Structure 1
């Protein structure tokens, strides 16, 4: 590791990196079998099923490897969502509830199976949650955070369905609220093509380690069978 200045463990990036790294050290568990718990925090979801467009990611997750998340997210107390720090708010079961919402979304669709999804999650002090999430998304560029957006969307509610149907729901139909939104002109086949292009251009990190401030970029390797 080359350094231009002394390592500062209290550097903002280093603290965020330690949070992200702590998440990656957690044992993956089945997304559909998480028991209730309290706290806010961050999480990463992994896919090991047979949906063909995701095959390059699946190869990096099967066999207990779990090297490439399909989605990364966070759950913060209500006060933090409204722009506050959330420090005075009780987190309750916000992280558990968020993961449960994701599991329900997957159960609703026709071409995914909840049994094929695992996740890592970490309860974190509220102030460090956004930074940890941002570093994980920058590290892994998960498909559902980027090219197939909309997985984390909520039902907009009655009278608010004028927005466009999320790409995620075009590719994975089944959520009742999404069917009420305006149809997209894109077809599932077009989105699948975009996924293939995205994965061909994306380098999956050779190491799950998160960079700390002052470290050189790690060597990355691409999956030669991504086409």
Structure 2
């Protein structure tokens, strides 16, 4: 689950009729690029469903869907939607997503955090808890 809100929406003040523009398309394109860069995934193995709502409902919808479906990639393999953290945050740990699916050039520069065995153990635990 994820969200694509208009730039500046997080801080408010855009008004209730602010046009979303191409934000959703941009976010889905970023996700496709992350999948394509992974050395062990193929974009043709993926599909996507999306729901377009007024931006005021996006956080609620995302939270409800995560709570209802308990998706692995939101709870045990975090990091799919991450962006390049830039130079000032380069010391942060690599995400579980990038541990399992290496290939994003910027992720290779990050510090090692969890090992692949750690991430796989987290997946196993998640699957046992959410059968």
Q: What is the TM-score normalised by the length of structure 2?
A: 0.91
Query: Displacement of 1:171 after TM fit?
Result: 0.9
Aligned residue in 1 for 2:108? 179
- Counting only pairs closer than 5 Å after superposition, residues 30-45 of structure 1 correspond to structure 2 as none
- Structure 1 unaligned segments of length 5 or more: list them: 1-71, 204-227
Aligned residue in 2 for 1:79? 8
**8 Å contact from structure 1 (residues 79, 89) kept in 2:** no
Larger Rg: 1
Label 1:85 to 1:137 Cα distance change in 2 as closer, same or farther (>3 A): farther
Query: Displacement of 1:188 after TM fit?
Result: 1.0
Out of 114, 128, 131, which is 1:200 matched to?
Answer: 128
**8 Å contact from structure 1 (residues 85, 127) kept in 2:** no
Q: Residue deviations 1:123-177, cap 9 Å, x none?
A: 2111111111110011011111111111111111234311111111011111011
Aligned length: 130
Q: Does 1:146 align with 2:112?
A: no
Runs of 4+ in 1 over 4 A off after TM superposition: none
Report the secondary structure of 2:21's partner residue: coil
* Structure with more of its chain in strand, by fraction: 1
Aligned residue in 2 for 1:131? 60
* Structure with more of its chain in helix, by fraction: 2
Please, what is the CA RMSD of the aligned residues? 1.4
Report the secondary structure of 2:61's partner residue: helix
